[in-house]
Amino acid sequence: MDELRPEPCQLVQTVTVTLADAPTPPKVATVPTSALEQSLIDIWTEVLGLQQVGVNDNFFDLGGTSRAAAEMLSLLEKHFSCSLPMNVVAEAGTITELANRLRASGRITDGALGLVRLSSMTSRRNFFCVHGLGGHALVFARLARTLADEMSFYAFESMNRYIDEQLLSVEDMAERYLREVRRIQPRGPYHLGGYSMGGLVALEMAHRLRRSGEQVGLVALIDTDLVQIRTPVHPRAVDFVSRALGVSPPVSMPIEDIEDAAELIRRRLSEQIGRPTHLSVDQIRRFAYAYVHNQSAISSYQIRQLYDGEVYLFYSTLGPHEAAQERREILQLTGWANASWADRLHVVPIESDHWTILSDNVDALAVQLRHAIAGD
């Protein structure tokens, strides 16, 4: 696997999503034209639980999730002896595109640094969103699909998921991500957002843009709870990974026991989906350490006290915020009360918990985001 190393090039990958409330496979599937395409179809039908897949069907339109994408990449590694980044699912979203990628020179575009375009439209309105502690861009796929008629939706994939030594600070992330934002959109107004810790990165990006004279429209903090994300994640990393993968009940073990924890996660996940999962122990280990690396990045970050732009906090009403009734209580519980500009922070409740705000309850979030961007 080590001989297949991604080469640096343009960092934006694209995946087309639709507005369908529930993804459904097409009635007529385009047939494969090679043994390679047939092998890829076999993999997709297994991880997606479908009877048929066409070579031009999009992975996400067929119901693909970030977990299914990880399983697919694990199978590709086993079948074709190549190690691919998660963003290859976004860049090569169909069987045909993926087959062409594998037929190429054996080099894969570097998705580890990438900005993923999750939806695209003809208007000039773009929304750039930063990953949470887990580092995945694909967690925004359903939100992007819901908003696809109104804006082009871009999401960042964390570099800290792929490196072992050089960890990026919030300031580093903001600077690198802004280079990509400016390449897509050279001038403002910019609309930025972030899930969990990504809200802090988006806020830092907004500060830098305004300092350089650019106009920033919305900064959306999607369940960015300073108390939670600054609580040491090391003891909770395994629990976070198992919840993110949908494992029930979640696995709670020390990260020092990650090998045993990963095997338990694999076993429970296999029982839930009714077949052996294709997620490897190494993949789960990397997922867990992404939380640790990104939490380390924000532990020393100081919030900008002089930011005077429009900032919205979309907070989940369930879980740690459930008891809060008033705005003052929400600001205290989420840790934003001490920001000098807290009196100008728009606080918007979303009926969800931290894990479902971008999945089961994404429609409610999308409605509020539309209002915020429109300035309602």
The encoded tokens of residue 175 equal: 């600077």
Confidence tier at 143 by pLDDT (50, 70, 90): very high
The answer as to whether 56 is a domain residue is yes
Of 9 and 193, which is predicted with more confidence?
193
Tell me, what's the pLDDT at 216?
A: 96
Of 89 and 269, which is predicted with more confidence?
269
State whether 129 and 209 are in the same domain: yes
List of long-range contacts for 266-272, beta carbons under 8 Å, 24+ apart = 268/242, 269/245, 272/246, 272/247, 272/248
Classify residue 32 by its DSSP letter. P
The answer as to whether 199 is a domain residue is yes
Give me the mean pLDDT over the 238-242 stretch. Answer: 89
Amino acid letter for position 169? S
CATH number of the domain bearing residue 191: 3.40.50.1820
Confidence tier at 107 by pLDDT (50, 70, 90): very low
Tell me, what's the pLDDT at 326?
A: 86
Of 7 and 62, which is predicted with more confidence?
62
Domain count of the fold of the chain? 2
pLDDT in tens, 347-365: 999 999 998 999 889 999 9
pLDDT in tens, 243-271: 888 898 899 998 889 999 999 999 998 99
Classify residue 22 by its DSSP letter. S
Looking at mean pLDDT, say which of 176-180, 193-197, 297-301 comes out highest.
193-197
> What is each CA distance from 104 to 14, 97, 101, 107, 339, in whole angstroms?
18, 11, 5, 7, 51
State whether 193 and 317 are in the same domain: yes
Of the candidates 69, 91, 110, which is a domain's last residue? 110
Q: Please check whether residue 184 is in contact with residue 12, taking contact to mean a CB–CB distance below 8 angstroms.
A: yes
The answer as to whether 276 is a domain residue is no
Tell me, what's the pLDDT at 123?
A: 66
Q: How many Cα atoms are found within 13 Å in the side-chain-facing hemisphere of 240?
A: 27
- Cis-peptide, bond into residue 186, ω within 30° of zero: no
The answer as to whether 260 is a domain residue is no
Q: What strands lie across the sheet with 115-119, from one edge to the other? A: 12-14, 115-119, 152-156, 126-130, 190-195, 216-222, 310-316, 346-350
> What is each CA distance from 27 to 24, 57, 201, in whole angstroms?
9, 11, 43
* Structural domain range at position 42: 20-110
State whether 92 and 163 are in the same domain: no
Give me the mean pLDDT over the 2-24 stretch. Answer: 36
Of 45 and 182, which is predicted with more confidence?
182
Judge whether residue 108 has pLDDT over 70: no
Tell me, what's the pLDDT at 130?
A: 96
Judge whether residue 342 has pLDDT over 70: yes
Q: Please check whether residue 193 is in contact with residue 348, taking contact to mean a CB–CB distance below 8 angstroms.
A: no
Q: Please check whether residue 120 is in contact with residue 95, taking contact to mean a CB–CB distance below 8 angstroms.
A: no
State whether 179 and 49 are in the same domain: no
Judge whether residue 98 has pLDDT over 60: yes
Tell me, what's the pLDDT at 2?
A: 30
pTM score, whole prediction: 0.71
pLDDT in tens, 189-204: 999 999 999 999 999 9
State whether 104 and 118 are in the same domain: no
Looking at mean pLDDT, say which of 86-100, 164-178, 183-197 comes out highest.
183-197
